[in-house]
C-alpha cells in the first residue's frame, strides 16, 4: 500500500515536470463545504493540475458570472478586485448551495506538440480528427478558453434536493442526485450540458483530493450522462472539456470550455 | 489633427477590448542585483498552495524540494542559490497566508545575462527586475535580462559630473529667464563690487531655498513661483532704467528674488530626479553647476560689452537702458503668460 502511494506520487510529479505549460484545470474551492447557516464563506478559485493548484484572485475582467443559487434565489458573490478568496457568500438558509463561475475567454497559443498532447489527454478525439483531416496536426494552435466551474455546498442536514434549476453556465456538469445523500457504493448520475443541451461522447474525469492520480473516467452517453461510483471521503472534482472551432473574429482557431464540479463526500 | 487623435484613441480602445484577460495568480517574483555582485530573487506566493505542493514532492526538506522547481541561470548556466523562506500569517480569518522565499547568491564573474524559470505555479505571474516586468507562465523561462542594463548605481564622481552639467545647462542654454535675471543684475552698475555683492546675495538665497525644497521642508506651487520669478526679472530690469548705483535695498531685493529662483531650481531638479544614494552630492553639484552657469552669463556679457564699452559715455544710454527695456518687456510678457497657465 505504501509503495503504491509512493509510485502514484512520483507519477504526479512526473506530470508536473513535463507538462507545466499545458492546459490546467480550474475549480471552485470554498473554505468549507459544510457551513453553518449565517456563516460567511470565502470561495477560492484555483487553477492547477491533479487538484494541486494556485489561488486565482478575483479578476473583474475575467468574470462573466460568479453567483450562488440557494433556496432563496440567485445572488452574486461579492469581492474586491484582486482579492483571494475571489468571492464571499453568506449562507442565508440551510440546504444545498450551488456556486457557479463562468469566465470570459482567455487567449493562449500552444505549439503543435503541446496542443496535440492536451487534446489527447482531455479526450477531444473529434478535434484531433478534425485537425488531421485539415492537415493541421503539425500546426500551432491559437485557442480561447473559458472556465465553467461549479461547486456544491451543504448547510445543515442533507435531503434529496439537488438545488434550484442549474445556473445555466455554458458547459455545465449537473449532479442529478444530491451527492451529500449518497451512501457507499451508490452511483452519482452526472449530466453534461453545453448551452443547456446534453453533450454526448465527452470524457468526464473524477478525482479525489486524497489521491488525485487515481482517476475515474467515463464517456457521456447520448443523453450526456455518466454514472460515477465515488469513494466516500474527501473533496471530489469532476471535470470535462469541450472544444469547438472558434467563432469568426475571435482571432483563434479553437474555443474550449472547461467544466468542473466540486463537492465533499462524507465518510459514511 | 483632432479627428486623427480620436480615430487613434478609438482604435486603441477597440484593440484593448479584443485582448483577453489572463488568469493571473497571487504569485509574484522580484529580482534585485546588488552592486553587480550578488542577486536576490524574492518569490511571494500563497502559503497553503505551497505547502500542498511540498507535501507531494519527493525530497527530505524544504530546500531540496524547492530547488527542483526553480532555475536561476547566468549566461545560460545554472547556479545553485541559497534558499531561505518565511511565512506571513493571514491578516484575518478570511484572507490567505503568504510565503516569501528568497534565493540568493553571487553573480558569476563577467556574467552578461540572467534567466529565470519557476516551475511551481499554474497561473500567470509577474517577474520584475530593474523596473521592467515580464509576465510569465509556470515553467516558462524569462527572456534573458542583460545585467549591464541593471548595473549598480553610478559612482559618486559620475553622479557629481552629471549633476554639475545638469545645473549648468539649467542656466545655459535652457534657463533663459534665469539668464535674463543675471544679466539684469550685471547691467545695474559698471562697478565690479555691485555685481559681486548682488551675485553673492542671489547665490546664498537660492541655495537656501533649493536645499529646503529638496529636503521637503518647504513647498510652494510652481503656479505661484514661476510668475513671481518673471516679475522679479521685470523688476530688476525696470529698476536698472531708473537707478545706476547699488543701494542696500537692491541687495535685499535680489536676496528675496534669489529665494524664489531657488524654488524654481528645485522644481526643475525634482523633475530630473535625485539618486537616493547620492542625494547630497547631486544637490551640491547641481547648485555648483547653476553658479557656473551664472558666471558664464556674466563673463560673456563682460567680454561682449563690458570690456569695451563700460567706460564709454553712451554705455548707459545705448546699452544698459535698451537692454534693460528689452529684458523688462520679455519678463512682463512671461508674467502674463505664466499667470494665465
Q: Are B122 and A62 inside 8 Å of each other by CB?
A: no
- Judged by a CB distance cut-off of 8 A, whether residue A26 touches chain B is yes
Q: What is the pLDDT confidence band of residue A265, given thresholds at 50, 70 and 90? A: confident
| pLDDT single digits (tens) A162-181 | 766 677 799 999 999 999 99
Which chain B residues are closer than 8 Å to A62 by Cβ?
21, 23
Q: Identify the residue with better confidence: A266 or B106.
A: B106
Q: How far does the CA of residue B20 sit from the closest CA of chain A (Å)? A: 5
Per-residue pLDDT, B237: 92
Q: Are A106 and B26 inside 8 Å of each other by CB?
A: no
B42, with CB counted inside 10 A (0-12, 13-18, 19+), is middle
Q: Which of B14, B15, B19, B21 best tests the A interface by mutation, with the highest count of A CBs <10 A?
A: B21
Q: Is the Cα dihedral B19, B24, B28, B29 positive or negative?
A: negative
| A210-222 exposure pattern, b = at least 16 Cβ within 10 A, e = fewer | ebbbeebebebee
Q: What is the pLDDT confidence band of residue A11, given thresholds at 50, 70 and 90? A: very low
Q: Are B123 and A20 inside 8 Å of each other by CB?
A: no
- Count of domains observed in chain A: 1
Mean pLDDT for the stretch of residues B252-278? 86
Q: Which residues, in sequence order, are CB contacts of B10 under 8 Å at separation 6+?
A: none
Which of A48, A84, A106 is facing B21, going by the closest CB pair? A106
Q: Which residues, in sequence order, are CB contacts of B205 under 8 Å at separation 6+?
A: B254, B255, B256, B257, B258, B259, B261, B262
Q: Identify the residue with better confidence: B37 or B25.
A: B25
Per-residue pLDDT, A75: 93
Which chain B residues are closer than 8 Å to A12 by Cβ?
56
Q: Which of B14, B23, B65 best tests the A interface by mutation, with the highest count of A CBs <10 A?
A: B23
Q: Are A106 and B22 inside 8 Å of each other by CB?
A: yes
Q: B23-150: which CATH number, 2.40.30, 2.60.40, 3.30.750, 3.30.160?
A: 2.60.40
Per-residue pLDDT, A268: 52
| pLDDT single digits (tens) B279-288 | 888 889 999 9
Percent of the residues in chain B that have a pLDDT greater than 70, as a whole number:
92
Mean pLDDT for the stretch of residues B25-37? 87
Per-residue pLDDT, A172: 96
ipTM above 0.90, yes or no: no
This prediction's pTM = 0.65
Domain residues for the domain of A30 are 2-12+21-265
Nearest chain A residue to B93 by CA: give it: A42
- State the Cα angle at A123 between A119 and A129, rounded to 5°: 65
Domain-wise residue ranges, chain B: 23-150, 156-339
Q: Are A40 and B49 inside 8 Å of each other by CB?
A: no
* Ramachandran category for residue A235: left, alpha or beta (phi over 0 → left; psi -120 to 50 → alpha): beta
**Lowest-pLDDT choice from B156-170, B200-214, B300-314:** B300-314
Amino acid at each position: 500500500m505504501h509503495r503504491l502511494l509512493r509510485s502514484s506520487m512520483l507519477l504526479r510529479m512526473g506530470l508536473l515536470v513535463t507538462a507545466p505549460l499545458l492546459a490546467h484545470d480550474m475549480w471552485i474551492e470554498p473554505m468549507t463545504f459544510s457551513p453553518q447557516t449565517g456563516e460567511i464563506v470565502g470561495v477560492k478559485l484555483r487553477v492547477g493540475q491533479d487538484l494541486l493548484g494556485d489561488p486565482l484572485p478575483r479578476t473583474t475582467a475575467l468574470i462573466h458570472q460568479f453567483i450562488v443559487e440557494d433556496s432563496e434565489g440567485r445572488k452574486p458573490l461579492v469581492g474586491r478586485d484582486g482579492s483571494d478568496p475571489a468571492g464571499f457568500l453568506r449562507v442565508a438558509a440551510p440546504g444545498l448551495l450551488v456556486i457557479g463561475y463562468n469566465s470570459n475567454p482567455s487567449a493562449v497559443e500552444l505549439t503543435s506538440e503541446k496542443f496535440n498532447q492536451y487534446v489527447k489527454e482531455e479526450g477531444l478525439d473529434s478535434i484531433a480528427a478534425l485537425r488531421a483531416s485539415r492537415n493541421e496536426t503539425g500546426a500551432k494552435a491559437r485557442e480561447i478558453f473559458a472556465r465553467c466551474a461549479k461547486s456544491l455546498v451543504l448547510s445543515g442536514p442533507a435531503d434529496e434536493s439537488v438545488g434550484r434549476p442549474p445556473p445555466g453556465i455554458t458547459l455545465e456538469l449537473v449532479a442529478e442526485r444530491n451527492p451529500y445523500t449518497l451512501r457507499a457504493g451508490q452511483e452519482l448520475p452526472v449530466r453534461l450540458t453545453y448551452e443547456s443541451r446534453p453533450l454526448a461522447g465527452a470524457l468526464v474525469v473524477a478525482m479525489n483530493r486524497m489521491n488525485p492520480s487515481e482517476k475515474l473516467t467515463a464517456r457521456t452517453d447520448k443523453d450526456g450522462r455518466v454514472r460515477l461510483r465515488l469513494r466516500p471521503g474527501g473533496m471530489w472534482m469532476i471535470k470535462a472539456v469541450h472544444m469547438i472551432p472558434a467563432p469568426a473574429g475571435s482571432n483563434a482557431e479553437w474555443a474550449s470550455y472547461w467544466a468542473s464540479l466540486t463537492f465533499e463526500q462524507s465518510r459514511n | 489633427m483632432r479627428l486623427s487623435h480620436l480615430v487613434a484613441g478609438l482604435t486603441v480602445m477597440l484593440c484593448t477590448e479584443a485582448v483577453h484577460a489572463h488568469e493571473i495568480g497571487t504569485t509574484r517574483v522580484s529580482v534585485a542585483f546588488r552592486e553587480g555582485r550578488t542577486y536576490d530573487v524574492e518569490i511571494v506566493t500563497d502559503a497553503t498552495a505551497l505547502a500542498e505542493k511540498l507535501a507531494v514532492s519527493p525530497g527530505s526538506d524544504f530546500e531540496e524540494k524547492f530547488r527542483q522547481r526553480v532555475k536561476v541561470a547566468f549566461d545560460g548556466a545554472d547556479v545553485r542559490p541559497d534558499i531561505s523562506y518565511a511565512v506571513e500569517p493571514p491578516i484575518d480569518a478570511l484572507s490567505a497566508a503568504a510565503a516569501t522565499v528568497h534565493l540568493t547568491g553571487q553573480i558569476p564573474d563577467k556574467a552578461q545575462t540572467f534567466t529565470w524559470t519557476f516551475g511551481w505555479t499554474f497561473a500567470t505571474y509577474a517577474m520584475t527586475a530593474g523596473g521592467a516586468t515580464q509576465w510569465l507562465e509556470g515553467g516558462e523561462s524569462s527572456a534573458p535580462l542583460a545585467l549591464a542594463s541593471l548595473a549598480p548605481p553610478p559612482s559618486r564622481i559620475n553622479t557629481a559630473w552629471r549633476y554639475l552639467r545638469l545645473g549648468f545647462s539649467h542656466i545655459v542654454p535652457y534657463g533663459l529667464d534665469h539668464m535674463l535675471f543675471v544679466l539684469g543684475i550685471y547691467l545695474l552698475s559698471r562697478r565690479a563690487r555691485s555685481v559681486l555683492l548682488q551675485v553673492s546675495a542671489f547665490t546664498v538665497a537660492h541655495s537656501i531655498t533649493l536645499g529646503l525644497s529638496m529636503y521637503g521642508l518647504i513647498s510652494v506651487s510652481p503656479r505661484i513661483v514661476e510668475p513671481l520669478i518673471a516679475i522679479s526679472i521685470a523688476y530688476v530690469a525696470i529698476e536698472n532704467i531708473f537707478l545706476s548705483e547699488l543701494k542696500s535695498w537692491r541687495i535685499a531685493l535680489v536676496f528675496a528674488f534669489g529665494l524664489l529662483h531657488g524654488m524654481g531650481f528645485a522644481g526643475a531638479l525634482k523633475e530630473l530626479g535625485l539618486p537616493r544614494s547620492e542625494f547630497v552630492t547631486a544637490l551640491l553639484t547641481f547648485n555648483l553647476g547653476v553658479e557656473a552657469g551664472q558666471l558664464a552669463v556674466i563673463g560673456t556679457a563682460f567680454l561682449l560689452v563690458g570690456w569695451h564699452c563700460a567706460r564709454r559715455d553712451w554705455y548707459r544710454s545705448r546699452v544698459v537702458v535698451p537692454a534693460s527695456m528689452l529684458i523688462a518687456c520679455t519678463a512682463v510678457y512671461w508674467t502674463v503668460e505664466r499667470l494665465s497657465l
